[in-house]
Structure 1
Amino acid sequence: MKNAISDERHAGCGKQCYSLDIDHSTVYRWISKYTEIIEAYVATLGPELGDIWHTDEMKVKIGGEWRWLWNVMDEKTRFHMVSVITKTREIEDAKKAFRKSKEVGNKKPRLMVTDGLPSYKKAFNAEFYDHHQSCKHIADVALQESLNNVLERMHGSIREREKIMRGIKVDDTPIIPMNQIYYNFIRPHMGLEGATPAEAAGVGIEEENKWMGLLRRSITKNE
């Protein structure tokens, strides 16, 4: 995002459009600051999720090196539950994504759908398996596209943002969590008849200006 903001066309926009002369580094600090505040608020919410979750991983370039971005989504509400960045695609990496999903959902799903990546099987057994088989794992590399197509729209939005930013600079970028917040709380979802995933999960923002409403709630909660 720094790269995009520091572009000459963007650097002069604040002054030309709003009569404000603000350095791009200041804007970046604001984004980092308020991402943390909103993240802290969102973490206190209890979304009402369905019982079929989807997990998939995608490659993103950060600081000139490839990383893996693990995403978990609820099928019913399209709520983007988890984004975890790792350097590898090992069992421990998959376990991080699964463990975080249980924290966000405050439960285990009935079905966890993944592709055929071997790391998923052992990670699933470690995080979700029980003798009652209350949670089952569906994993088939041959059916990857059809099984995980609920993640395609979200992955596409990440690719769009990555392209605009001309790559991500650092591992702890605020862009990944803010993109997740935008996807859940701000952007209407076509598959939900124009509702946001947060609204479908019972934790949506009622104000017309959802960004402002979310920020006000977050700041109030933080005080």
Structure 2
Amino acid sequence: MSYKRHRFPSELIAHAVWLYFRFPLSFRLVEEMLLKRGIVVSYETIRRWSLKFGTAYARSLRRKAARPDDVWHLDEVRIVIRGKPHWLWRAVDQDGYVLDEILQTRRNTKAARRLLTWLLKQQGLRPGRLITDKLKSYGAARRKMRLSIRHLSHKGLNNRAEDSHLPLRKRERTMQRFRSPGGCQRFVSVFSAIRNLFVPPASVTTTLSRHIHQIRAFAQWSSATALSV
């Protein structure tokens, strides 16, 4: 993918996409913010940029390297798309980084098993522990897969995964719900990748350490968006 035959410079395209996915903004609000800086670009163009480049940016961002002692928090959240309920199955680690997420139409053992299978394939190793709420599908999926991983099932222990849904819920309201399952899956993959990069982990507590984290995040973002021109 490249920026060839685009009238606007690559830095502006990347900035517009970053604004849309990083903050609870509509395409029209991003258009207004750019207009304030003297840049005239339609919200429809920004939408096309987000569709074309968002996934490529997310793919270019390096994933956090998994460790064998990591703790995986698994949870699922209900999302209604055109009146039909779907479930977004998500895994986050002990630092709150989203490892992966899969939109499915079921909330059962088969869906839980698909999430676990995908996670193990993508991460390349097993976690130290699995933490879930009391949904029995997780335990059933683990047993069917014969995974010898310690599994803790307790609602009070899974706040990290449950809290990870809140930013997406806020965006869902801004977007007035998702229009299609495919559009939802594409959005959350980019949204989570950018949040992983820019939101500091809980261990970063001082102002200086947050600033250092942000400077490194912007450097990595510049590298990820420097696609072939």
1:166 aligned residue: 176
The residue number in structure 1 matching 2:26 is 5
Match of 2:144 in 1: 126
Percent identity, please: 19
Deviation, structure 1 residue 99: 1.6
Which ranges in structure 2 are unaligned for 5 or more consecutive residues?
1-19
Contact 2:132 / 2:138 at 8 angstroms: preserved in 1?
yes
Residue in structure 2 matching 1:67, options 86, 89, 92? 86
Partner-residue secondary structure (3-state), 1:192: coil
Is the Cα contact below 8 Å between 2:27 and 2:47 reproduced in 1?
no
Give the CA deviation at 1:23.
Answer: 2.5
The whole-number CA distance in structure 2 between the counterparts of 1:206 and 1:87 is 37
Tell me the CA shift for residue 65 of structure 1.
2.7
The change in CA–CA distance for 1:38 and 1:128 in structure 2 (over 3 A counts) is farther
> What code does the residue aligned with 2:222 have?
R
Residues 27-38 of structure 1 correspond to what in structure 2 (within 5 A)? 27-38=46-57
Q: CA deviation at 1:152?
A: 3.2
**2:135 corresponds to:** 117
Q: Does the 8 A contact of 2:30 with 2:43 survive in 1?
A: yes
Secondary structure at the residue paired with 1:162?
Answer: helix
The 1:121–1:11 alpha-carbon spacing in structure 2 relative to 1, beyond 3 Å, is closer
TM-score w.r.t. the length of structure 1 is 0.75
Q: Which residue of 1 aligns with 2:36?
A: 17
TM-score between the two structures when normalised by the length of structure 2: 0.73
- The equivalences for 1:50-89 within 5 A come to 50-75=69-94, 77-89=95-107
Q: Shift of residue 217 of structure 1?
A: 2.4
CA RMSD of aligned residues (A): 3.0
Choose which of 102, 122, 137 in structure 1 pairs with 2:151: 137
Secondary structure of the 1:180 match is helix
Flag as ranges the 4+ runs of structure 1 deviating above 6 A.
none
How big is the shift at 1:14?
4.8
Structure 1 portions without partners, runs of 5+: 200-204
Offset at residue 182 of structure 1 (A): 2.5
Partner of residue 193 from structure 1, selected from 200, 204, 209: 204
Distance of 1:112 and 1:55 partners within structure 2: 7
Aligned counterpart, 2:160: 150
CA deviation profile, 1:149-185 (whole Å, cap 9, x unmatched): 1123311111111122221122122321122112210
SS in 1 for 2:26: helix
Q: How many angstroms apart in 1 are the aligned matches of 2:74 and 2:36?
A: 41
Q: How many residues align?
A: 199
